[in-house]
Amino acid sequence: MTMESTSSAGVIAQFQKYVIGNYTRYPVCLTRGEGSLVWDAEGRRYLDFFPGWGCNLIGHCPPRVVEAVREQVGQLIHVPNTWYTKAQGELAKALSERTDFGGQCFFCNSGAEANEAAIKLARLHGQPDKRYKIITTLNSFHGRTMGALSATGQPKYHAGVEPLLAGFKYVPFGDLAAVEKAIDAETIAILVEPIQGEGGINVPPDDYLPGLRRLADERGLLLMFDEVQAGMGRTGKWYAHQHWHVQPDVVTLAKALAGGVAAGAMIARPAIAEKLKPGTHAATFGGNPIACRAALATIETIESEGLLERASWLEGQFRARLVALQSRTPLIREVRAKGSMIGIELSSPGAPVVQKCLERGLLVNCTHHTVIRLLPALNLPEDLLEEGCAILEDAIVNYPQ
**Known catalytic residue: 226?**
yes
Least distance between ligand PLP and beta carbon 381 (Å): 26
Cβ within 8 Å of residue 355, ≥6 positions away = none
For residues 163 and 199, is the Cβ–Cβ distance under 8 A? no
Per the DSSP assignment, residues forming a β-bridge with 265 are 107, 253
Among 57-65, 137-145, 169-177, 274-282, which window interacts with ligand PLP (CB under 6 A)?
137-145
C-beta separation of 255 from 53 below 8 A: yes
Among 189, 254, 307, 322, binds ligand PLP (CB under 6 A): 254
Residue 24, burial from CB neighbour count under 10 angstroms (0-12, 13-18, 19+): exposed
Q: Which is nearer to ligand PLP, 40 or 226 (CB)?
A: 226
Residue span binding ligand PLP (CB under 6 A) among the ranges 85-93, 224-232, 272-280, 321-329: 224-232
Residue from 40, 116, 198, 345 that binds ligand PLP (CB under 6 A)? 198
Least CB distance to ligand PLP at residue 190 (A): 15
d(CA 334, CA 200): 11
48 vs 193 by CB, closer to ligand PLP: 193
Beta 45-48 vs 104-108: how paired, if at all?
A: unpaired
User: If residue 307 lies in a helix (H) or strand (E), which one and from where to where?
Assistant: helix 307-326
Q: Which stretch binds ligand PLP (CB under 6 A): 22-30, 221-229, 233-241, 315-323?
A: 221-229
Q: Which of 40, 116, 226, 345 binds ligand PLP (CB under 6 A)?
A: 226
Among 171, 209, 228, 256, binds ligand PLP (CB under 6 A): 228
Question: Contact letters (x/-) for ligand PLP, 94-113, by CB under 6 A?
Answer: ----------------xxx-
Nearer to ligand PLP, 85 or 110 (CB): 110
Q: How far is the CB of 74 from ligand PLP (least distance, A)?
A: 27
Adjacent-strand bridge partners of 332: 346
CA 100 to chain centre: 20
Residue 193 engages ligand PLP in binding (rule: CB under 6 A): yes
Q: Calculate the CA dihedral of residues 204, 205, 209, 215 and round it to 10 degrees.
A: -120
The Cα-based distances of 109 to 94, 269, 281 in angstroms read 18, 21, 14
Of 106, 141, 168, 318, which one is the catalytic site residue? 141
Residue 122 or 228: the one with the smaller Cβ distance to ligand PLP is 228
Closest CA to 195 of 183, 205, 184, 187: 205
Residue with smaller CB distance to ligand PLP, 40 or 198: 198
Shortest CB 226 distance to ligand PLP, Å: 5
Closest to ligand PLP by CB, 141 or 318: 141
Catalytic residue among 40, 48, 226, 249: 226
Amino acid at 372: I
Contact between 264 and 294 under an 8 Å Cβ cutoff? The reply is no
Minimal CB distance to ligand PLP: which residue?
A: 111
Q: Which amino acid is at 364?
A: V
40/48 with CB nearer ligand PLP: 48
Q: How far is CA 303 from CA 230, 306, 354, 355, 378, in A?
A: 17, 5, 32, 35, 12
367 binds ligand PLP (CB under 6 A): no
185 C-beta neighbours (distance < 10 Å), count = 9
Of 251 and 325, CB closest to ligand PLP: 251
- Nearest alpha-carbon partner for 396 in 339, 342, 348, 340: 348
Task: Determine, following the binding rule CB under 6 A, whether residue 362 of this chain makes contact with ligand PLP.
Answer: no
Q: Compute the least distance from the CB of residue 76 to ligand PLP, in Å.
A: 24
Residue in 255, 318, 338, 356 annotated catalytic: 255
Check the CA dihedral 231-125-269-91 and report its sign: negative
Counting residues that bind ligand PLP (by CB under 6 A) gives 14
| Residues engaged in binding ligand PLP (CB under 6 A) | 110-112, 115, 141-143, 193, 197-198, 226, 228-229, 254
Indicate which residues carry an active-site annotation.
Answer: 141, 226, 255
